[in-house]
Amino acid sequence: MPDISPPPLSPASVVLRLGAIAVVVVVVAGAFAYVNGMLDPTRLTPKALVDVLQVDNGVHPGFRRNHAKGVCVAGYFESTDQARAYSTAEVFSEARTPIVGRFALPTGNPYSPDTAAPIRSFAVRFTQANGEQWRTGMNAMPVFPVGTPEAFYQLLQAGSPDPATGKPNPASVPKFFAAHPEAVPFLTWVKTAKPSASYATETYNSINAFFLVDAKGERHAVRWSVVPQSTNGVSMPTTETGDFLEKDLDQKLAAAPLRWDLKFTLAEAGDPTNDATKAWPADRHTITAGTLVLQSSQPQMDGDCRDINYDPLVLPSGIQGSDDPLLAARSAAYATSYLRRTSEVDQLKTAHADQEPRP
């Protein structure tokens, strides 16, 4: 072994070399901090999105940070042959695929009255025989108010309580919308929207665009809707107040299974896939991929849907996300909400006892 010691370094040289090592370490650590957003407090992160939901709605441990009030449902999806030419996903080729779903109110407070919003939501997880899953979170509205996560964050901020009064400034949200003309289609729709008396009468829309991928690898841009067979999507406004949606659902399911048709709308050239604020023209070709059949419901506190994160980017082979920027933001923010609420899941047991429903 060449155990010949190298010539000793001068003190200045030692300091210089130690400095060089320090520089390398600091540069690597700094790059890591930069990538992690630590050096940029203005970067929109999943944490910031979920934090503002908590500011607006309060913290309700164990509950989802948005769409907090809901009910679990279970059943199956029965496919037709219509989607098979467009997508290789097994859900469209198998006769039946089990589903676990969740109906909810799009508010962040689990004690909101069912009239708190004129919108209902429906999330579904399809579990394919090959173990792949398709998760979707749909809403009973035709378009989303804003097209980007940044604008959504600002909208949530506009609804935040003013520290001086403890209440949101009533001028803030109108001021936000005045500066966001892309919200006009949503605002026009929401003016006529009324809280429905039932989850069962609503048509739920993917709103974001996706791609179906066929056996040749060709991608077909789509949006989807689930349309109730019983009413063909005609919604009845409620005359009740308080909690009525879960009771109504239980009663209907006790009488008979509930059925929705899953319809894909196929985009044509020029239809935006990256802008959830814009509806596609009404004459677009649609196909009916099958029927969702719901057979039973469970309270969300201990139901099968409780521990499912309905991340819209959990997709089987044969379905892909589009370039809609809201999709990645939903996926990222849901993951943060999921970690927070799974960490608090034991607190759900005492949640009902402690909290009086708020008006």
Between 135 and 252, whose beta carbon lies closer to other proteins? Answer: 135
Residue 138: CB atoms within 10 A of its CB come to 24
Backbone angles phi, psi at 304, to 5 degrees: -65, -20
Which of these ranges, 115-123, 201-209, 264-272, 342-350, lies near other proteins under the rule CB under 8 A?
342-350
Radius of gyration of the chain (CA): 25
Q: What CA–CA distance (Å, rounded) separates 313 from 182? A: 24
Q: Among the candidate windows 64-72, 101-109, 184-192, 300-308, which touches other proteins by CB under 8 A?
A: 300-308
Count of residues near other proteins by CB under 8 A: 53
The residue among 3 and 283 lying less far from other proteins, judged by its C-beta, is: 3
Least Å distance, CB 15 to other proteins, is: 10
Spell out the residues 6+ positions from residue 197 whose beta carbon is closer than 8 angstroms to its own: 236, 237, 238, 239, 240, 244, 248
Among residue numbers 28 through 87, which ones bind other proteins (CB under 8 A)?
28-29, 31-32, 35-37, 43-46, 49
Using the rule CB under 8 A, give the single segment among 162-170, 219-227, 276-284, 325-333 that binds other proteins: 325-333
Q: What span, in angstroms and rounded, lies between the C-alpha atoms of 75 and 126?
A: 10
Residues contacting 49, CB < 8 A, separation 6+: 149, 152, 153, 156, 329, 332, 333, 336
Alpha-carbon distance 154 to 258, whole Å? Answer: 38
**Binding test (CB under 8 A) with other proteins, winner from 160, 331, 347, 351:** 331
* Active-site residue, selected from the candidate residues 67, 180, 285, 352: 67
Nearer to other proteins, 346 or 354 (CB): 346
Please indicate whether residue 67 is annotated as part of the active site: yes
**Could you say which of 55, 116, 345, 351 contacts other proteins (CB under 8 A)?**
345
Q: Distance (Å, rounded) from C-alpha 282 to C-alpha 247?
A: 34
Q: Which is nearer to other proteins, 117 or 332 (CB)?
A: 332
Site for other proteins in 126-185 (CB under 8 A): 130-133, 149
